[in-house]
Structure 1
Amino acid sequence: MKTLVPVLASAAAVAAAFPANADPADGYGYHPMMMGGWFMGPFMMLLFVVILIAAALFAARHFSFAPKGDGDKALAILRERFARGEIDKEEFEQRRKLLE
C-alpha cells in the first residue's frame, strides 16, 4: 500500500496537468506556425538537406588535398633527375618552363 500512494499521486498530478495545457482557441488552428505548416515543414527540410549537400560538395572541391595533376608529378620527376645529375641546369630550366 505504501508504494501505491506515490504512484497514484503521480497519476493524479499528470491527469491534473492536461486541463492546464488545453488551448481554448481550438487547439493549434490559430497558431502562426500552422498556417501552411504542412507545406513549409517538408519544404524547409528538403531545402536544409540540399544546402548540406551543396556545402559538402563545395568543401570537397575547394579544400581537397588531392594532387593537383600530372604537371606536379612530372615536375617532381624532373627535380629528381636534376638532383641525381642526369640532366644539367640548362636542360632542367628548359623543361621546367615547358611544364609550367
Structure 2
Amino acid sequence: MIWGWYGGPCGLAWWGFGLAGLVLLGVGVYALVRAFESRHRAEDKALALLRERYARGELDEETYRRMKKTLEE
C-alpha cells in the first residue's frame, strides 16, 4: 500500500495547504501592522508640524488648540 508521507494519501499536500495558510495569515498580520504604523506616523508628523507653526508664531493659541483637537480626534 502506498499511503504517501505523514499518515495518509496526499498527506504532504495537506501540509502544503497548511503552510500556505500560515503564510497568508502572516502576510495579513504584517499588512495590518504596517497600515497602523503608517497612520500613526502620519498623525505624529501633522502634530509636529502644528507645534512648529505655533512655536514660530504663525498660529495664535486658540487656532493651535482647535487644530490640535481636530487632529487628535
TM-score by length of 1: 0.50
1:13-41 per-position Cα deviation (integer Å, ceiling 9, x unaligned) = xxxxxxxxxxxxxxxx388x67533x222
1:49 match: 20
Task: Report runs of 4+ in structure 1 exceeding 2 Å deviation.
Answer: 33-37, 64-67, 73-77
Which of residues 41, 65, 68 in structure 1 aligns to 2:39?
A: 68
8 A Cα contact 2:6 2:12, kept in partner: no
Q: From the superposition, tell whether residues 35 and 88 of structure 1 become closer, same or farther in structure 2 (CA, over 3 Å).
A: closer
TM-score by length of 2: 0.63
**Matched AA of 1:52:** V
Deviation of the 1:96 alpha carbon: 0.9
The count of residues paired between Structure 1 and Structure 2 equals 69
Stretches of structure 2 that go unaligned for 5 or more consecutive residues are: none
Q: Which has the larger radius of gyration?
A: 1
Measure the CA separation in 2 of the matches of 1:60 and 1:87: 37
Matched, 1:81 2:49: no
Q: From the superposition, tell whether residues 30 and 98 of structure 1 become closer, same or farther in structure 2 (CA, over 3 Å).
A: closer
Measure the CA separation in 1 of the matches of 2:6 and 2:42: 58
Stretches of structure 1 that go unaligned for 5 or more consecutive residues are: 1-28
Percent of paired sites with the same residue: 29
Bigger fraction of residues in helix: 2
8 A Cα contact 1:71 1:99, kept in partner: no
Measure the CA separation in 2 of the matches of 1:55 and 1:78: 36
